[in-house]
Amino acid sequence: MPEFMDVHRNMSGLTKEALQAAHDADLAIQSDEDVVFKTAWADPDSGVVYCLSEAPSADAVKRIHERAGHPADEIHPVPLKV
């Protein structure tokens, strides 16, 4: 299944607990779109959050994040990795 890296901006001051809660919100509904969210990283100072997922499409990732209450600003396919 294709992988995607998405970016969320303007989340300054995000705590580890808030990041976990947002990730859990995605996990709770990810199966509705056949998405598997693998992990998330955040920089509370810059307010940038990155999420790595497997999904049938970027649109599926977009819909889950929107429904979970934190729409992604960018979603990028990850066609190659080492």
Query: CA nearest 40: which of 68, 16, 60, 56?
Result: 16
Q: Tell me the mean pLDDT in the region 26-30.
A: 98
**What is 3-77's CATH number, 3.20.20.220, 3.30.70.3090, 3.40.50.720, 3.40.50.300?**
3.30.70.3090
Say what the pLDDT of residue 76 is. 98
Query: Is 0.75 topped by the overall pTM?
Result: yes
How sure is the predictor about 24, in pLDDT bands with cuts at 50, 70 and 90? Answer: very high
* Contact (CB, 8 A) for 37 and 51: yes
Say what the pLDDT of residue 32 is. 98
In the chain, domain spans:
3-77
